Structure 1
Amino acid sequence: MRIAHISDLHVSSPLFEPEWGDKLIRCLNEADLDLVLVTGDITMNGHLYEYQLAKEFLDRIEPRIMIIPGNHDAMNDGYELFEELFGTRKPFFENEEVAILGLDSSEPDINDGQIGRHNYPIIKEKLSRDKVRILALHHHVIPVPKTGREWNILSDAGDVLSICIDMDLDLILSGHKHLPWVWELQGSHFVTAGTACTRRLKGRSYPSYNLIRIDGQHILLDQVNLLTGEKKRMIDKFHQPSRS
């Protein structure tokens, strides 16, 4: 199975680069993907016209797409527009190889996020089967280096981290910080995607996305430089059955 993980498109931002957006669409449509996973911040301020722009952009993606909102998307009652245009804020995908659960970690009109105790049983229910298991959310669970002061990881990051480790989840995918990064903790990999097509970049970083390949229980993840197409191998691992 081939999955692209993209994040923080901000299609309505003055720093959105249409040329980069067009290139991203071409790359995704030519990559023989089974799924495109978007971990939030498709808009800048959650207004209706921004959501309409985002939908027009995302509708150009030909593979199946799975989207969760980010903190920018929840602004100005945007979370209601998200449901109207894209459906559930808790999407779930499953086949014989993988189970993927997306959860909305955003809070209206603030940058902070949380999963919330009411969602913990959903994680345990949906990601309990012995296959590659992926949790997707917008906010990162572990702080990302070189992104300034850290005050908006999940407010319940400790509880979520404990669940991920106890369940031996394979991948925890997020965005939010506009800088690609990977942490490995007790066999679970916490993956933050960079911004895919805006100039809201950190330092000398570049627009990027992640390409995930799952072959049985073998998991590969490459970070892809959108501008050059260069790939950097970030993860090469095998799924470990849950110990719980």
Structure 2
Amino acid sequence: MTRIVHLSDLHFGFHRARLLDHLLERVNHARADLVVLTGDITHRGRSAQYAQAAAFLSRIEAPLMAVPGNHDVPLYNLPMRYLMPYAAYRRAMGPELSPTRQAGGVRVLGMNSVDPFAVQRGIVRDGEIGRLTGGLDPTAMNVVAMHHPLEHLAQVDKELSRRAPEALARLERAGVQIVLSGHLHVWATGAMLDQTTHPGVLQIQGGTALCARVSDRQNEFAVLQIDGTLLTIERHIAPMDEPSFRPPEYEHFSRESGIWVAHQPLETPIVPGATETAFSTA
């Protein structure tokens, strides 16, 4: 059995400071084998925001891996954005933009989906799909971690990443079982299964763990417990008008037949940011 904490969209610099200690306590109490951050660690990619993030992340007791999000590159400093977009990220988070980690029977492969030449829209770069499929472990549960989702719910009006449909299809054929993402500040798991044509891949789209944007309505993170073909997700939610996280909610999935099956009613995702402007949080 392997336990993985999925954190996304921390947005240091525009975060709920009073939730920090509560989040740290919950993450460390999870006794995870690995903590995976799927981007937007900072709000504007500034050095001071990375310092805040690094101070928080240093207190997490489990091993940690991260991939960047579109907010982790400078927005207004155009020379840095286009010439050295990941300089501050690498100083704070380390040199790897697409790390790979093994945690028990789970292999997590990171992918950098950020396009510095776009404000929000992501990209699957040439060669990335091949790199990921070449790095899979046929004896493990293979998880891809990236910031931008490979598929959107029907009610989301943001542009999908370039080459996302091709990537999702090829990753499913190669044997990827789970994709972790963030970006939209919208939790979606079973709802994705309900609409996808790729049921061999469970897409776990995380909400925002710390962003202070009131229209998001809640902060949250998830703990994945993987036991063979069985997956239990603990979803920890902190509504914006409450001081801390509520007791976790649970979702259960199985993949015994080679496709994922949800063992609870499908969630109704909250889509607060779908019509936000290009320069807003998501």
TM-score, L = length of structure 2? 0.78
Q: 1:140 aligns with which of 117, 141, 149?
A: 149
1:7 is aligned to 2:24? no
Distance 1:92 1:157, change over 3 A: same
Q: Which of the pair is proportionally richer in strand? A: 1
The SS at the match of 1:154 is coil
For 1:94-152, what per-residue CA distance to the aligned partner results, in whole angstroms no more than 9, with x for missing partners?
244111001110012521111212211211111242311100000011113554x222x
8 Å CA contact 1:131–1:239 kept in 2: the answer is: no
- Tell me the secondary structure at the aligned position of residue 144 of structure 2: strand
CA distance in 1, matches of 2:126, 2:257: 26
Asked if 1 retains the 8 angstrom alpha-carbon contact of 2:7 and 2:209, the reply is yes
Moved more, 213-222 or 188-197: 213-222
Which position in structure 2 is the counterpart of 1:49?
A: 48
The residue type equivalent to 2:162 in the other structure is S
Any idea what the Cα deviations from partners look like across 1:173-211, whole Å, max 9, x if unmatched?
A: 0000011111123221111100012222556x4211111
Total equivalences in the alignment: 237
Q: How far did residue 80 of structure 1 move?
A: 1.8
Which residue of 1 is the match for residue 246 of structure 2?
A: 229
2:201 maps to 1:192: no
Of the three residues 216, 226, 247, the one matched with 1:214 is 226
Cα distance in 2 for residues equivalent to 1:49 and 1:99: 32
1:180 pairs, out of 175, 178, 187, with: 187
Asked which structure has the greater CA Rg, the reply is 2
> Contact 1:40–1:69 at 8 Å: present in 2 too?
yes
CA distance in 1, matches of 2:68, 2:257: 29
Residue 126 (structure 2) pairs with residue 127 (structure 1): no
Cross-structure match for 1:68: 67
User: Which residue of the other structure, out of 90, 114, 124, is the alignment partner of 1:115?
Assistant: 124
Q: Is the 8 A contact 1:195 1:201 kept in 2?
A: no
Q: For the Cα contact (< 8 Å) 1:178–1:201, is it kept in 2?
A: no
Structure 2 unpaired stretches of 5+: 75-80, 239-243, 260-282
Match of 1:156 among 157, 163, 168: 163
Q: Provide the C-alpha distance between the structure 1 equivalents of 2:33 and 2:125, rounded to a whole number of angstroms.
A: 30
C-alpha RMSD over aligned residues: 2.0
Equivalent in 172, 176, 191 of residue 169 of structure 1: 176
With 96-105 and 220-229 compared, the bigger mean Cα shift is at 220-229
